[in-house]
Amino acid sequence: MWATRIGFILAAIGSAVGLGNIWRFPFQASANGGAAFLTVYLAAVLVIGIPAILAEFVIGRRAKTSAIGAFSKLGRPRWWFVGAIGVVAAGWTLSYYSVIGGWVIRYIVGATTGAALADPGTYFGTVSVGIESVVVHALFMLLTVGIVAFGIEDGIELATKFMVPSIVVLLLGLAVYAFTLEGAGAGYDFLFTADFGAIVDNAGTVIPAAVGQALFSLSLGYSVMITYASYLGKDDSLLSDGLTVAVANTGVGILAGLVVLPLLAIQSGGEISAEGGPGAVFVAIPTALAELPGGSVVGQAVGFVFFAVVLVAALSSAISLLETVVAYLVDNYGFARLPTAVGLGAGIFLLGVPSAWDTAWLTWFDNISVALFLPLAVLFVVLFVGWVLGADAVAELREGSNSPGIATVWLWALRTVVLVAVIGVVALNLYDLFLVPDEGTYFVPPL
């Protein structure tokens, strides 16, 4: 159990705020029209994200057990597969998330010594593939296992209590610093001046990409919020906790954008390009750091702080992914926590080796995670809570809340608008994955 309510909120924010905000958002946004992408992203947080996070909280807290068993506990054993999709997706996602986390460790060192700043493109090309990347992937996994092994209160709650505030403070400092730099303006334009024509013209790709990003960023669809809420007491208001997490995650996401996009703009001379992919932040940030006024010491110091923040954010998300799978095994088979965390960490590490070896695999794993697992899981969660749990879900959301009327509105939103929106997103994703194989998102592994 969480020792304190704020402990739960910080852990959930720690899960939400991560590489999704800092590493994934910039290259997804630049590939999908910048502000147009941000607009759809924000709409998705409101229309799908907030109702869906409440749905996962309701399942978790009512069942008081981890994701797969939760459905039988709620008297609907046939829906176990919904939790299962999420648990599988959590392990799948951690496999490549840890690879990127490993690069971040490498960059903390590389930025501090200056090696990463000298020739950023070549540096990324060397450290992001092959054995170098596998080694740091192992290191990141070890850190993740270490925290999860200590359990909820002594591991996750304690760690995220320090992590989340430090992410916010340091990002704020970096954003203010970026604001003072010459050439930062083009970054703000990119983020805030929407070209709505671009949304309409590219709706078939911009919409699923932005919705996927919004849900990934909120850690929805991976059974993570179900698992975290299962450790929660009845006197908490799920409604206000859910809103807090969504607002904090979106705020930190935009804050990260205010750090990363000005640097991207400076590095590219004002033209933020649509290319980049998973290397975008790792190449652009060091390039910009190397060009900072004040010389290499300033660049190295800012680089150290930046990548240290990213590492903390990545770890607090990775532990939620591992916890979701660990909790399932511990709850259902009575396994001890420590060996379970170690064994799973080793297995998931192996699954991530292809992604560490070659970034084409990483992109493929990420596509399958965000375009296939995630939307399907969210669809079933919404269907389940809206149409199957129904009145029970309303009762659960009212528990500990002082605005009971909202629960009914929420239920009807889930049953109608949210459901239709998610079905649309699933359809667009399946179309992109299976029917247009050469447009970037593809179902075929990169062999």
For binding to ligand PHE (CB under 6 A), which residues are involved? 15-16, 18-21, 216-217, 219, 222, 224, 317, 320-321
Token pair listed for 89: 């997706």
Contacts of 334 by beta carbon, 8 Å cutoff, 6+ apart: none
Question: CB of residue 252 vs ligand PHE: minimum separation in angstroms?
Answer: 9
Q: How far is CA 168 from CA 177, 214, 301, 405, in A?
A: 14, 19, 18, 33
Token pair listed for 413: 């939103």
Question: CB of residue 217 vs ligand PHE: minimum separation in angstroms?
Answer: 4
| Rounded to 5°, angle at Cα 115 from 126 and 143 | 70
| Rounded to 5°, angle at Cα 380 from 376 and 382 | 115
Decide whether 19 or 156 has the Cβ nearer to ligand PHE.
19
C-alpha 364: how far from its chain's center?
16
Decide whether 123 or 282 has the Cβ nearer to ligand PHE.
282
Question: CB of residue 87 vs ligand PHE: minimum separation in angstroms?
Answer: 11
Tell me which H or E stretch contains 214.
Answer: helix 203-217
Question: CB of residue 266 vs ligand PHE: minimum separation in angstroms?
Answer: 25
230 close to 70: Cβ distance less than 8 angstroms: yes
Token pair listed for 443: 């179902």
Question: CB of residue 97 vs ligand PHE: minimum separation in angstroms?
Answer: 7
Decide whether 16 or 238 has the Cβ nearer to ligand PHE.
16
Can you say whether the dihedral through the CA atoms of 353, 355, 361, 365 is positive or negative? Answer: positive
Question: CB of residue 320 vs ligand PHE: minimum separation in angstroms?
Answer: 5
Q: CA-CA distance, 323 to 166, in Å (whole number)?
A: 22
DSSP-assigned letter for residue 79: G
Q: What is the DSSP track for 270-339?
A: T---S--GGGHHHHHHHHHHHT-TT-HHHHHHHHHHHHHHHHHHHHHHHHHHHHHHHHHHHHHH---HHH
Question: CB of residue 94 vs ligand PHE: minimum separation in angstroms?
Answer: 8
Decide whether 19 or 421 has the Cβ nearer to ligand PHE.
19
Select the residue whose beta carbon is closest to ligand PHE and give its number. Answer: 20
Decide whether 16 or 232 has the Cβ nearer to ligand PHE.
16
Decide whether 171 or 411 has the Cβ nearer to ligand PHE.
171
Tell me which H or E stretch contains 133.
Answer: helix 130-149
Question: CB of residue 21 vs ligand PHE: minimum separation in angstroms?
Answer: 5
Decide whether 247 or 436 has the Cβ nearer to ligand PHE.
247
Q: What is the DSSP track for 341-359?
A: HHHHHHHHHHHHHHHHH-H
Question: CB of residue 75 vs ligand PHE: minimum separation in angstroms?
Answer: 27
Decide whether 28 or 340 has the Cβ nearer to ligand PHE.
28
Burial of 60 (0-12, 13-18, 19+ CB in 10 A): buried
Token pair listed for 391: 């009145």
Question: In terms of Cα–Cα distance, which of 89, 50, 86 is closest to 71?
Answer: 86
Token pair listed for 68: 């797969």
Token pair listed for 412: 């009807």
Decide whether 376 or 407 has the Cβ nearer to ligand PHE.
376
Decide whether 323 or 399 has the Cβ nearer to ligand PHE.
323
Question: In terms of Cα–Cα distance, which of 82, 58, 53, 52 is closest to 69?
Answer: 82
Decide whether 58 or 87 has the Cβ nearer to ligand PHE.
87
Q: What is the b/e burial string over 192-203, where b = at least 16 CB atoms within 10 angstroms of the residue's CB?
A: eebeeebbeeee
Q: Is 194 helix (H, G, I), strand (E, B) or coil?
A: coil
Question: CB of residue 214 vs ligand PHE: minimum separation in angstroms?
Answer: 10
Question: CB of residue 18 vs ligand PHE: minimum separation in angstroms?
Answer: 3
